[in-house]
């Protein structure tokens, strides 16, 4: 009797909890709503619910619960070339900030040329994988990809009855973008009968939509409209017919239908061979956005924008010899190709002669920013910071790209002052931020662990915090009065020495430093002091190259005398 009462309470609790977590604009699917109320007889589900009740009642369990992370489970095939399938799903979810677990339905041998072989995972083992994840890991959304047999479709159907989730995104992977057939015709009937009625959205390409409907080839936007409505009649709450392969279309047109309204979602058609895995990635991105709480239309739009940006970034990548290559989900591969400098960790010796640009000084002497940076680098500057306060963002990015190319060609690190967005846009080697700018921790989260981050400091407390927050170096100053920064309180040589003694990070001195006083700065003989940062001494001069060479010579003399 006690067990029956506990079980009844468990079922009621589970139903209430399930309904409570549904995001606004994201009602549970027609199929899943039925299965939530009719899963009482399944012992595995009962045990899972009882375990949830125990965690709710156990104070220790609550303390260790932590933050609930949005979670997508992808049920799909493995792509040995890592462009599509499980591998693409993992990358897309990671790029969108969502945890992704996997159930592998098949293992394929494929590359950029095509699919050379498919090995289907036994149904029993697919079922075991599903139970392992769904019974334990609080999945929000399930996304399906390649389901190569009718038996596996049935296994998934039963698993979702046993362990209902908030959402189901069905990408009916039957024919790849490259034309490879990935599922047997016998799968279609089971797919229509069991999976589509459970789906919150189905995302076929043109060939898959035709296969599901048993209709002729889709060739026009009007055909796509009709197909979306016909597919919706099969049970899914929403339909997205992808028109990436639509002939004679200047735009990439997708048709979204929610049962009431139909939307033509257009984006630029990116001319590139690197489109392998776009369908998998789009569906995974939709699942990720739903897991984070977006409405369906918001999720679809976000996914479409993400794919467009990724294709545009990856348009000229060369991976493999076939006609269809993969794209870069993280928009980072070019950084590694173009970066000749950041092969190793940050080198404190790069702070030796730190050149900080000033656009007003360049204008005064008729220097372009790229010419000034080139002269400084050729004169011996060991690191360059682009500081532009009176420039539009678009012009800032273009100037940064030009200067970055110069610095990379000389093996000199190139940083951006304050503007993390510009550093990201041009793939600079890092940023330098002030005490009132973006916090170092936030900059590090945005830029990643490999980028250089410097921070301005005036006190030992600032220096300690910079180390705690993950900076690579600190800039201490102004050491002397300067005209390049208004209301800048000077710390003097004694203040510089105090900060250097307290700092766990390498230090570069800045503020009012030039040829006449650089020697006195370096002669404080603190091991953490690695160099000087200068503005006017280099850029407020007629010949940047000559002045840089002179200052570099002075610094070298001091170094040799130590």
37: pLDDT strictly greater than 60: no
- Identify the active-site residue in 278, 382, 484, 548: 278
- Residue-level pLDDT at 66: 81
Residue 202 gets which letter from DSSP?
E
Instruction: Tell me, yes or no, if 242 is annotated catalytic.
Output: yes
Mean pLDDT of 372-380: 97
pLDDT of residue 2: 39
How high is the pLDDT of residue 390? 79
How many Cβ atoms sit within 10 Å of the Cβ of residue 411?
12
pLDDT tens sequence across 256-306? 999 999 999 988 888 999 999 999 999 999 999 999 999 999 999 999 999
| Structural contact between residues 349 and 382, judged by C-beta atoms closer than 8 angstroms | yes
60 pLDDT above the threshold of 80: no
The pLDDT of residue 535 is 96
Q: Which of 45, 242, 292, 458 is catalytic?
A: 242
pLDDT at 4: 38
Q: Is 134 exposed, middle or buried (0-12, 13-18, 19+ CB in 10 A)?
A: buried
pLDDT one-digit tens code per residue, 106-161: 999 999 999 999 999 999 999 999 999 999 999 999 999 999 999 999 999 999 99
Give the CATH number of domain 348-561: 3.20.20.70
The catalytically annotated residue of 145, 279, 380, 512 is: 279
279 is catalytic: yes
Catalytic entry in 93, 280, 403, 457: 280
Q: Please give the pLDDT value at position 184.
A: 65
- Residue 162 pLDDT greater than 70, yes or no: yes
Q: How far apart are CA 200 and CA 31, in angstroms?
A: 9
Identify the weakest region by mean pLDDT among 172-181, 206-215, 302-311, 503-512. 172-181
User: Per-residue confidence at 179, pLDDT binned at 50, 70, 90?
Assistant: low
Q: Is 275 a catalytic residue?
A: yes
Rounded average pLDDT over 464-476: 95
278 catalytic? Reply is yes
Output 20 or 177, whichever has higher pLDDT. Answer: 177
Please give the pLDDT value at position 52: 52
pLDDT at residue 11 tops 80: no
Q: Domain map of the chain by residue range?
A: 71-336, 348-561
DSSP 464-494: HHHHHHT-SEEEEE-SS--SSSTT----HHH
For the cut 80, the answer to whether the pLDDT of residue 10 exceeds it is no
- 243, 244, 277, 478: which is the annotated catalytic residue? 277
**Sheet (strand 239-243) strand order:** 115-120, 99-110, 71-79, 141-144, 167-170, 201-202, 239-243, 251-257, 262-268
Rounded alpha-carbon distances, angstroms, from residue 227 to 53, 182, 243, 488: 45, 21, 12, 66
Confidence of residue 208 (pLDDT cuts 50, 70, 90): very high
Q: With bands split at pLDDT 50, 70 and 90, how would you rate the model's confidence at 73?
A: very high
Q: Does residue 18 carry a pLDDT above 90?
A: no
Architecture of the domain delimited by 71-336? 3-Layer(aba) Sandwich (3.40)
The conformation of residue 316, written as its DSSP 8-state character, comes to: T
Question: Which pLDDT band, with edges at 50, 70 and 90, does 183 fall under?
Answer: low
Catalytic hit among 74, 275, 357, 484:
275
Q: What is the pTM of this model?
A: 0.67
Report the pLDDT value the prediction gives residue 46, as an integer from 0 to 100: 45
Q: In 465-495, which positions are buried (b, 16+ CB within 10 angstroms) versus exposed (e)?
A: bbbeeebbbbbbbbbbebebbeebebbebeb
pLDDT at 527 over 80: yes
């Amino acid at each position: 009797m006690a067990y029956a009462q506990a079980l009844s309470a468990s079922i009621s609790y589970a139903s209430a909890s399930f309904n409570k977590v549904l995001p606004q604009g994201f009602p549970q699917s027609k199929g899943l709503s039925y299965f939530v109320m009719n899963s009482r007889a399944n012992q595995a589900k009962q045990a899972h619910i009882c375990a949830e009740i125990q965690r709710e009642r156990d104070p220790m369990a609550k303390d260790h619960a932590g933050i609930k992370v949005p979670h997508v489970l992808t049920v799909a095939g493995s792509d040995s070339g890592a462009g599509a399938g499980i591998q693409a799903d993992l990358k897309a979810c990671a790029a969108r900030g969502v945890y992704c677990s996997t159930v592998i339905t098949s293992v394929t041998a494929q590359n950029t040329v095509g699919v050379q072989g498919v090995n289907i995972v036994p149904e029993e083992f697919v079922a075991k994988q599903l139970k392992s994840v769904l019974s334990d890991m609080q999945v929000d959304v399930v996304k399906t990809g390649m389901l190569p047999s009718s038996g596996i479709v049935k296994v998934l159907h039963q698993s979702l009855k046993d362990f209902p989730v908030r959402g189901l995104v069905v990408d009916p992977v039957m024919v790849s973008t490259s034309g490879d057939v990935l599922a047997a015709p016998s799968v279609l009937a089971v797919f229509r009968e069991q999976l589509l009625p459970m789906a919150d959205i189905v995302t076929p390409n043109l060939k898959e939509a035709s296969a599901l409907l048993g209709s002729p080839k889709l060739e026009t936007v009007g055909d796509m409209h009709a197909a979306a409505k016909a597919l919706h009649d099969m049970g899914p709450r929403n339909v997205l017919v992808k028109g990436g392969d639509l002939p004679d279309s200047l735009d990439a047109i997708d048709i979204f239908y929610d049962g009431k309204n139909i939307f033509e979602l257009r984006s630029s058609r990116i001319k590139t061979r690197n489109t392998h895995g776009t369908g998998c990635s789009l569906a995974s991105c939709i699942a990720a956005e739903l897991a984070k709480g977006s409405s369906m239309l918001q999720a679809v739009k976000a996914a479409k924008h993400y794919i467009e940006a990724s294709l545009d970034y990856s348009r000229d990548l060369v991976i493999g010899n076939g006609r269809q290559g993969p794209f870069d989900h993280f928009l980072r591969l070019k950084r590694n190709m173009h970066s000749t400098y950041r092969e190793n960790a940050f080198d404190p010796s790069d702070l030796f002669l730190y050149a900080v640009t000033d656009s007003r000084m360049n204008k005064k002497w008729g220097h372009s920013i790229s010419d000034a940076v080139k002269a400084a680098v050729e004169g011996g500057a060991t690191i360059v910071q682009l500081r532009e306060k009176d420039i539009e963002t678009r012009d800032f990015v273009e100037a940064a790209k030009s200067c970055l190319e110069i610095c990379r060609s000389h093996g000199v690190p190139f940083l951006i002052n304050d503007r993390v967005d510009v550093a990201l846009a041009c793939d600079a080697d890092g940023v330098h931020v002030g005490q009132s700018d973006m916090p170092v921790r936030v900059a590090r989260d945005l830029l990643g662990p490999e980028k250089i981050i410097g921070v301005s400091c005036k006190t030992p407390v600032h220096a300690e915090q910079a180390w705690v927050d993950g900076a690579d170096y600190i800039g201490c100053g102004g050491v002397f009065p300067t005209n390049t920064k208004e209301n800048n309180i000077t710390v003097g040589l004694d203040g510089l020495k105090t900060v250097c003694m307290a700092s766990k990070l390498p230090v570069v001195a800045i503020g009012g430093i030039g040829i006449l006083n650089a020697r006195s700065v370096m002669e404080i003989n603190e091991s953490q002091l690695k160099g000087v940062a200068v503005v006017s001494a280099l850029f407020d001069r007629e010949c940047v190259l000559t002045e840089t060479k002179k200052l570099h010579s002075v610094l070298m003399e001091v170094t040799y005398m130590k």
